[in-house]
Amino acid sequence: MEAIRNLVERTSSSHLAMPIPSREEMNIIYAAALRAPDHKGLKPSRFIEVSGDGLKKLSDIFISFAKIKNPDIDQTKIERYKKMPYRAPLVMVLVSSVVENKKVPEIEQMMSTACAAQCILLALNALNYSGIWRTGELSFNKEISKLLGLDDNECVIGYLYIGTDTGPVKNIESSNLQDFVSIWD
């Protein structure tokens, strides 16, 4: 029953602080991620962990992106990009590494990485941590992929911000299942 509760009660949190998962816990989290659906076993996902001094490096990359996107960007907006990685003590860059395969299109491989991200969020929750998946202009963008040093076949599909939830408990109203489910008898 605990596993089901984890599935039906999971929420995202934007109020994240230390502690973060230990290396041993991260290994469990990655093992869960690699159980995501993966047509033909192509293993199209990889993850970049950013914490500590690495957050400054990611911040610099976000600032560089902002300046490339808008050479006339004002200091207020630069500060916004600068602060983005510091919203959590650990940021995981979700990378889809597309493998050339006639039977498994690129979108399917990206969906596998998305499923891996959900497995990570569920594993975090099961281990009493929390996270939030953020996307936006810093995802699905060739320039950001280049700044991160990704290969040509790789794409950032998002960022998981990870830590311990310090915010108020979210009470998300249950959805009416009939609004989402059709049954064909």
pLDDT bracket for residue 26 (50, 70, 90): very high
Domain chopping of the chain, boundaries: 2-168
What CATH topology corresponds to 2-168?
NADH Oxidase (3.40.109)
Q: In the chain, pLDDT over 90 holds for what percent of residues? A: 75
Q: Across the chain, which distance is largest between two alpha carbons, in Å?
A: 60
Tokens of 10: 């999971």
Q: What is the pTM of this model?
A: 0.92
pLDDT of residue 11 exceeding 80 = no
Alpha-carbon distance of 157 to 154, in angstroms, equals 9
